[in-house]
Amino acid sequence: MRIRRILDQLWQRLEGRTPALLALILLVLTQIIALALPQIPVSPRQSTSFNRWLAELRPQLGPATRPLASLGLLTIRSSALLRLVLAFLGLIVAATLDRLRESWHTRSWRSGHTARLLVCIGGVLIIGGWAGQMLGGWREPEVVVWPDDQIEILGRDLVIDQPSGPIGLWPGGYGRYVMTRGNRLGLEVQAAGAEGEALPLLPAVNEAPVDALRLTFTTQEPEAFFAIPKAELVFRLNQVEQAIQVQAYRSASGELLTETLLQAGDATTVLQLGAASVSITQTLLPRYEVIYNPGAGFEGLGLALLALGVISRTAHIPEQAGEPSEPEGAGQAADHA
């Protein structure tokens, strides 16, 4: 019976003002962390991709990169920490609903119970919004676009105009927005023969040759390849920190002909390989993050209602202090019953 009494007391404490305030503070902190720290879009279980993102963030975060990742602060939206906070919020909602149910049956509804109702509604919206994001949401963390092109999301059949500011709302859909995430280096490649004629570039085996080739590099795709069939040349380009490593091979023998490091800021580099002249022009391109979060609106409204409920309960503390308390022997009688 004593264990049951302790559990009952803990359950009653969960519907108090302090647990709701603590949950609100923790949720606000997670939102601040998600905005202040760059978030890795892949799970730590995907070790190869995760380590690439860590290497990408190391120049920005320095020695704190690995500790922040170990604590889950670089994947806060899907971390165990946030799941525990949401589980705590779920217990608060259940305990508060139980208190409201008892008040409804005993017809003892007070003004403070309206604040409890706001806490319940806000908690349900927050948990539901997070679940909607995890189940139906998606992110394209690195979309690099040339200035005269639209944002194209491969695999989702979506085309979006580039935003004019740091954040752009996505017209035609709920919970969709585009965020500017810095810049990436883009390369435009052209080749000419001994007499100045254009040499076609082959981006891939199953693609048609082009006279000018545009190349972009991302964290998950740091390499690019192309060939010049008429000159019997194959090129490999690899992103190395803030530079691009260019290697040219003889296609027939695989012999390495030249290796050059293109530093950021070099406008145009010309490689002379026999009769072929290869021109590589650098361009700074915008980098976007495209997000679809169907639960964003529910989470925002839920946080507002939860905060309003906590504030309202704070305002009703004097009234609650004057509420009649349960007689001392009532709990023992209930236990014996």
- Spatial contact of 309 and 116, defined as CB atoms under 8 Å apart: yes
* Mean pLDDT of all residues in 165-171: 65
Write the pLDDT tens digit of every residue in 234-289. Answer: 999 998 877 899 999 998 888 999 999 988 776 889 999 988 999 999 988 998 88
Residue 198 pLDDT > 90: yes
**E strand or H helix at 223, and its extent?**
strand 223-228
> What's the confidence (pLDDT) of residue 127?
96
> What is d(CA 66, CA 62) in angstroms, rounded to the nearest whole number?
9
Res. 107 pLDDT band, cuts 50 70 90: low
pTM of the entire structure?
Answer: 0.74
> What's the confidence (pLDDT) of residue 41?
85
> What is d(CA 193, CA 191) in angstroms, rounded to the nearest whole number?
7
Higher pLDDT, 329 or 242: 242
> What's the confidence (pLDDT) of residue 322?
40
- Which of 69-78, 264-273, 279-288, 310-319 is predicted with the least confidence, judged by mean pLDDT? 310-319
Higher pLDDT, 109 or 166: 166
Write the DSSP assignment of 72-114 as a string of letters: TGGGGGGSHHHHHHHHHHHHHHHHHHHHHHHHHHTT---HHHH
Task: Name the phi and psi angles at 263, rounded to 5.
Answer: -80, 145
**Length reported for the chain:** 337
Res. 59 pLDDT band, cuts 50 70 90: confident
Write the DSSP assignment of 266-332 as a string of letters: --EEEEEETTEEEEEEEEEEEEEEEEE-TTHHHHHHHHHHHHHHHHHHHHTHHHHHTSPPPPTTHHH
- Spatial contact of 209 and 291, defined as CB atoms under 8 Å apart: no
Residue 22 pLDDT > 60: yes
* Mean pLDDT of all residues in 41-54: 86
> What's the confidence (pLDDT) of residue 299?
93
> What's the confidence (pLDDT) of residue 43?
85
> What's the confidence (pLDDT) of residue 317?
55
> What is d(CA 7, CA 64) in angstroms, rounded to the nearest whole number?
41
> What's the confidence (pLDDT) of residue 8?
81
The two tokens of residue 265 are 């800021």
The two tokens of residue 126 are 């927050």
Burial class (CB in 10 A: 0-12, 13-18, 19+), 209: middle
Residue 117 pLDDT > 50: yes
- Which of 60-64, 155-159, 318-322 is predicted with the least confidence, judged by mean pLDDT? 318-322
